[in-house]
């Protein structure tokens, strides 16, 4: 499965450096171009500059929440990245709101990295044959 996401750009957004490190390591062999951001404002800037295909976005972030990042994206013209929202919040109200904003996948922390990778592959249409 090495290299199956070659040419794809993925932005990982979380304020927990350990989670960013784990997600980056999980994506290391996929061939994807991976960048990271630690807060919502940085995420918005990187999305505008890098035009990622997919954003893995924590709900609870400093400076601008994951929801506010998604709302900002909805107001922009042009191609919008796919979004996987990750959260430690177990409430269904947040899940429903995230889905109403068009989130492609909603994962509760802790999650298995393989579950995240499967979601990324499915969303980007790169499932191994």
User: What domains can be seen in the chain, in order of their start residue?
Assistant: 9-123 (3.40.50.2300)
The SS3 of residue 118 is helix
pTM of the model: 0.92
Q: What's phi and psi for 84, nearest 5 deg?
A: -110, 120
The SS3 of residue 63 is coil
Task: Determine the pLDDT at residue 89.
Answer: 85
Task: Determine the pLDDT at residue 42.
Answer: 97
Task: Determine the pLDDT at residue 30.
Answer: 92
pLDDT one-digit tens code per residue, 101-126: 999 999 999 999 999 999 999 999 85
How confident is residue 39, by pLDDT bands cut at 50, 70 and 90?
A: very high
pLDDT one-digit tens code per residue, 59-105: 999 999 999 999 888 877 777 899 999 998 888 899 999 999 999 99
Residue 38 has pLDDT above 60, yes or no: yes
As a three-state string, the secondary structure of 80-115 is CCEEEEEECCCCHHHHHHHHHCCCCEEEECCCCHHH
Task: Determine the pLDDT at residue 26.
Answer: 95
């Amino acid at each position: 499965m090495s290299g199956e996401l070659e040419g794809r750009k993925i932005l990982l957004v979380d304020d927990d450096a350990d989670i960013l490190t784990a997600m980056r390591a999980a994506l290391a062999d996929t061939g994807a171009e991976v960048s990271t951001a630690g807060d919502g404002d940085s995420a918005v800037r990187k999305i505008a500059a890098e035009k990622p295909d997919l954003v893995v976005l924590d709900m609870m972030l400093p400076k601008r929440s994951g929801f506010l990042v998604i709302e900002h994206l909805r107001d922009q013209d042009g191609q919008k990245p796919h979004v996987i929202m990750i959260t430690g919040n177990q409430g269904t109200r947040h899940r429903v709101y995230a889905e109403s904003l068009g989130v492609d996948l909603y994962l509760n922390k802790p999650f298995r990295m393989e579950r995240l990778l499967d979601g990324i592959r499915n969303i980007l249409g790169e499932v191994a044959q």
